[in-house]
Chain A
Amino acid sequence: MSTRKAVEFSFSWIFALIVGASILFFAIYAATKLISTEKNIDAAEAGKQFGIILNPFETGVEEGKSAHIAFSQETRVYAECIASAPFGEQSISIATRSGVGKAWSEPGVASTFSHKYLFAASTLEGTSFTVFSKQFEFPFKIADVVYIIPSSVKYCMINAPYDVENDLTSLGIEAVEFVQTATSCPAQSTRVCFTSTGCDIDVNLGAQTVKKFKQTLYFASSDRSNALLYGALFSDPGVYECQVKRLSQRMSELASVYQQTSALVAPRGCTSGLEGSLLRFSNVSFSLKTSVDLKMLETMSEDIRRSNNVRTCKLF
């Protein structure tokens, strides 16, 4: 007697296997998509919260403020500057370390703010960040500008002027160390030269320039809080130029407001005589394209400041 042994694989078994595999596939796909969406939501919320946390850095009568911001895990902060009309935008988005696949998750939806000005590298990475703010006056207060330095980044200032050293030391900026010679700088720190050249960043106080990454950035010396100098030191050149452009847009609009305010209050006995100067200042700052154009504005700014300071009835 011969037997033909065979496995009977009926159609119902095949059908069940195919459908079961499809259900498993779709379930895993849906779970993965859900996790990715939730991560995106968390990152978007974190970005918005980060922007909101920067609100208390607006200065009032104080010249500057500083603090530390810490995340529970390693985080990337993308701070993008957009110099569109009328005031440009500061975009902030956050990405965290991913445990699956790529090292970093995709950044969440960016939160945008028209009234914030962040001078920082376009991508910041770490768990802890030093944040400080300064008033930018030119000649009236234009905005509070915020600087963000990851705790892992260190700056070594060689022969810095007294006002810079005093300023940053009193703000408690631990990311910055002040030395007399380049050999005293800690390893892996970014060297900043004030009286010589050949460092990672060269500052020429006389020419009002900061040279870094083979680019020359201009700052205004009449800005007594050194807001633009710190901006050039602690941010990428592209970010610096974009923020200067945004600040000039706000400068132009504020000058126009002050000019019309001056005309409004003149009949009440408060004459400033600054209407013409402010109108010219507004027009010139509106046409600013790069930081080089700040030189053109500096003389006008100083004239307006001097004229305002001698008046009993001050505009600003």
Chain B
Amino acid sequence: MYVPVSSSKAQFKIQEMAFVLVALMMLFALVAVIYINVRTSSFHTDVEEQREEEARLLVRKMATTPEFAWLSTTCAHCIDTDKLLILREHAKYKEFWDLDYLAIEWVSPNHQGECTRSTYPQCGTITIINRTIGTPVSTYVALCRHEANAQASMQCDLGKISASGRSLLSNG
């Protein structure tokens, strides 16, 4: 069968154009995938950074929240450890502050171990939230408790409150 040379030449050109266009679309798709990957990873970083900033601001003000504050009108940075010991048993507070980690620990006197009703106050740490993801931020506070034998029926020690923001890796 006779096929004119001009016709097969035209068909070849059309095929050439089609291949070029397919290659062009694949290039655009590759660029789009790389861009989306980079943007998504920077978005994850932005979210984590915002949550850490929130944790930093929150930890500074934590001592003034009603759940933590010691007789709120007397001392801005005093924490009531008697209340905290009860608070750690209230499951509703685990998701209240949108944090992965929240704990107070005694700096002086330097007791060790997690506090329970039997070991308190001869213990080192009261942990409210413990998902232990991320690096906690801390601030120093006074840890106070009712003590009948002490002057003014209260005893205050030096402590630290630590918190870390909710990570994208944690559940919820």
Chain A residues with a Cβ under 8 A of chain B:
10-12, 15-16, 19, 23, 30, 41, 45, 48-49, 51-52, 55-56, 58-61, 86-87, 113-115, 135, 140-144, 250, 253-254, 256-258, 260-261, 264-265, 268-270, 312-314, 316
Contact = CB atoms under 8 A, between A and B. Distances in A.
Nearest to A316: B71
A264 B80 CA distance: 13
- Secondary structure at chain A's binding surface: helix, strand, loop or mixed? helix
Nearest to A136: B66
Given A12-B14, A23-B25, A114-B98, 5 more contacts: A55-B61, A144-B64, A260-B86, A269-B153, A316-B71
- Secondary structure at chain B's binding surface: helix, strand, loop or mixed? helix
A61 B17 contact: no
27 contacts: A10-B10, A11-B14, A15-B18, A30-B32, A41-B43, A51-B54, A52-B53, A55-B57, A55-B58, A56-B61, A58-B64, A60-B76, A61-B72, A87-B96, A140-B66, A140-B72, A141-B72, A142-B66, A257-B83, A257-B86, A257-B90, A261-B80, A264-B117, A269-B153, A270-B146, A270-B148, A313-B146
A261 B86 contact: yes
A19 B17 CA distance: 10
Interface string B96-124: 11100000000000000000010000000
Contacts of B85: 264
Contacts of B98: 113-114
Nearest to A311: B153
B90 A253 contact: yes
Contacts of A41: 43
Given A11-B14, A269-B153, A52 B69 contact: no
Nearest to B80: A261
Interface of B: 10, 13-14, 17-18, 21, 24-25, 32, 43, 46, 50, 53-54, 57-58, 61, 63-67, 69, 71-77, 80, 82-83, 85-87, 89-90, 92-93, 95-98, 117, 145-149, 153
A45 B46 contact: yes
A314 B73 CA distance: 12
Given A12-B13, A257-B83, A257-B87, A141 B153 contact: no
Given A19-B21, A312-B153, A115 B96 contact: yes
Contacts of B96: 87, 114-115
Nearest to B72: A141
Contacts of B13: 12
Nearest to B24: A23
A106 B5 CA distance: 59
Candidate in A16, A87, A257 with the most chain B CB atoms within 10 angstroms: A257
A37 B54 CA distance: 24
Contact of A58 (B10, B61, B74): B61
A15 to B, nearest CB: 6
A15 B13 CA distance: 11
